[in-house]
Amino acid sequence: MKAHRAILPLALILLLGACASGSVLPTPTETLPPTPTATSEPLAALVNGEGITLASFEAEMSRYLAAQIASGTDPATNPEDVLTVLNARIDRMLLAQGALEVGIVIDIHEVTARIEQLADDLGGLEAVAAWLAAQGYTAEEFELALQEDMLARAMIDHLTQDLARIQEHVHARHILVATREEAEAILQDLSAGESFEELARTLSTDPSTRPAGGDLGWFPQGALLIPEVETTAFELEPGEVSDVVESPLGFHIIETIARESRVITEDNLLRQQEWTVSQWLEERRQNADITVYITPETW
């Protein structure tokens, strides 16, 4: 229960191409082979008129599978891999397009400086050339990919810049049981003066918080796994106990112990940033003109 919301990390958005909180691969609008571009290159997808070539997608898949091997994971391709890589690639493109729309510009000198830094890190231009070849990039393709990546990063910064570092937190605890009847009985026990902590230790079915008397600790909005509990905790005044609150886990009794403004932890700030970006991407996908020419089964 004390776990936080699981959202795909921003690193995946940028390194694979971006990921959007479980977004589903758009249904292909055709069953024909990929449509050729002006240069007769077949496409994997078309995003607001901008193409993702089949060749670049295949290279991205190869890099993804190589990373799986390097991490000790079975490299066998499965439909989920295809969805992950293509959705990530689409989302990075949406972020880059959004950056251009709000006036963000990546100067060619910034791209050049990044490449020069890469050369320094790898040990010279020959080492860069070897690295590009190993990664399946031409020099031009890498420059374009790097520029898109930089635009996507800049758009993430733009979307998350207003998230405050000092935010209201609440300190709360809860008791979780399987039925409403049990929860109602606990409310009666609390009204009779019994200890919330002792009832939690005795009756709560949440193994992560039961030993500490149901203590959920301090948290800002957007941090808890179960939003019903979090929302209720923020609605209560310190010392106030909720009515029965139902969630997918069961039935909760919640007490808010205290509230105050605190510096948000880096983990919680990252979760809020990820949530903000994923919400923007979800809305963006709904309004975007996306055509996908491949499927996991046929790729």
Rounded Cα gap, residues 124 and 4, in angstroms: 43
For the chain, domain boundaries: 10-161+272-292, 166-263
CATH number of 166-263: 3.10.50.40
Collapse the DSSP code of 252 into the 3-class scheme (helix H, G, I; strand E, B; otherwise coil) and give the result.
Answer: strand
- For residue 213, pLDDT over 50 is answered with yes
Ramachandran sector of residue 70 (left: φ over 0; alpha: ψ -120 to 50; beta: rest): alpha
Q: Give the pLDDT band of residue 40 (cuts 50, 70, 90).
A: low
Angle formed at CA 276 by CA 274 and CA 279, multiple of 5 degrees: 105
Supply the pLDDT for residue 83.
86
pLDDT digits (tens, 9 = 90+) for 118-158: 999 999 988 989 999 988 898 889 999 999 999 999 999 99
Q: Which residue has the higher pLDDT, 189 or 70?
A: 189
- Closest to 124 measured CA to CA, from 70, 60, 132, 150: 132
Rounded Cα gap, residues 195 and 211, in angstroms: 14
Superfamily of domain 10-161+272-292 in the CATH hierarchy: Porin chaperone SurA, peptide-binding domain (1.10.4030.10)
| Mean pLDDT computed over 181-203 | 97
| Mean pLDDT computed over 258-271 | 94
- For residue 81, pLDDT over 80 is answered with yes
